[in-house]
Amino acid sequence: MSDRQVSIKLTQATATFLFFIFLMQALTACAQKGSTVVGIQYKPIFPAAFLGTGKQTSTSNTVSFDVELKSGFCGGMFVRHSFTDLLSFETGINYIKRNYSLSITDSSFKGDSKFRIIGYEIPLSLLAYIQLGEKIYMNASMGPGVDMFASNVQSYDEYFQHVSFRRNLFQMSVLANIGWEYRTEKSGYIYLGASYHRPFSYIFLTKIEYRYRGKDEITSQKLLGNYLTLDLRYIFPENKSKNNRRTN
C-alpha cells in the first residue's frame, strides 16, 4: 500500500471521529430540558440468514470455503436524554465480539476452525415511545452509529492460512431496535427487546489459502458484519434532584 493510500485512510478515520465529536457537542448544547438516565446492557448475538447474518460461501475449483457468524455479544453502557415523555435520544459505547466458524471442504477432506472479531460501537439513536400501561412502555428506535475495529485478524492450521483485513478503523452503520420496558420510580427500568445492526459496507476482507495433498487454492470474502441481538437492559433510577437543579 502506498503512502498516499495510507494518508487517505487516516484522513477518513479522523473525519469520522471529528464528525462524531461535533455531533455530540451539538446535541449536548441543545438538550436543555428533560431528564437524563444511565443504563447498562448485555445483548447476545444471533445469526439469521434472512437478515444477511448467515453463512457466506465461496468456491475455488473443488474446494468450498464457508465463513459463518455463530455467536457473540454486545455489551456496555448508555445515556438516554428525554425531550418529551414519548421522545428521547440515546448514545453510549459498546464492546462487541463476533465469533465466526471457518469450514473448508474438499472432495475427501473437511476441516473446521474458528476466529473472532473484536470491535466497539457508538450508537446515536432517536427513540419514540408508546405507553401501554401505567408502568409499561413500548419503544422503537433508529439511528446511525460509529463502529471501530482495532486490528486485523489471523488464524491458521497445518492445512490453511487465514487473514481478515479490516476495511477501515472507523466505519458508519445503522441500528434499528424495538423493545418493551417496565419503569419504576425507585428501582429503575427493566428492558427487553431486539436490535438489528447493519454496517453501510463490509467490515473485513477475509482471505483464505488452502494447502493440502498437493492442492493450493486461495479465495476471498467480504464479511458483512450484520447481526441480530436480544437486548437485556437495566436503567438506573433517575437522579431527580440533579435534573431539577439543571432545569431551574
Which string of DSSP letters, residue by residue, matches the chain?
--HHHHHHHHHHHHHHHHHHHHHHHHHHHH--SS-EEEEEEEEEEE--GGGT-S-EEEEETTEEEEEEEEEEEEEEEEEEEEEETTEEEEEEEEEEEEEEEEEEEETTEEEEEEEEEEEEEEEEEEEEEEE-SSSEEEEEEEEEEEEEE---EEEEETTEEEEEEES-SEEEEEEEEEEEEEEETTTEEEEEEEEEEEESS-SEEEEEEEEETTEEEEEEEEE---EEEEEEEEEPPP-HHHHHHHH-
Q: Is the pLDDT of residue 36 over 80?
A: yes
Q: Which pLDDT value is given to residue 46?
A: 85
Retrieve residue 22's grid coordinates. Answer: 461535533
128 or 12: whose pLDDT is higher?
128
Give 175-228 pLDDT, tens digit per residue: 999 999 999 988 999 999 999 999 999 999 999 999 887 788 889 999 988 899
Q: Is the pLDDT of residue 83 over 80?
A: yes
- Dist CA 226 CA 61 (whole Å): 28
Q: Is the pLDDT of residue 237 over 80?
A: yes
Give 43-70 pLDDT, tens digit per residue: 999 887 777 667 888 888 888 999 999 8
Give the pTM: 0.79
User: Looking at this protein, which amino acid is placed at residue 243?
Assistant: N
Give 87-119 pLDDT, tens digit per residue: 999 999 999 999 999 999 988 888 899 999 999
- Mean pLDDT on 134-149: 94
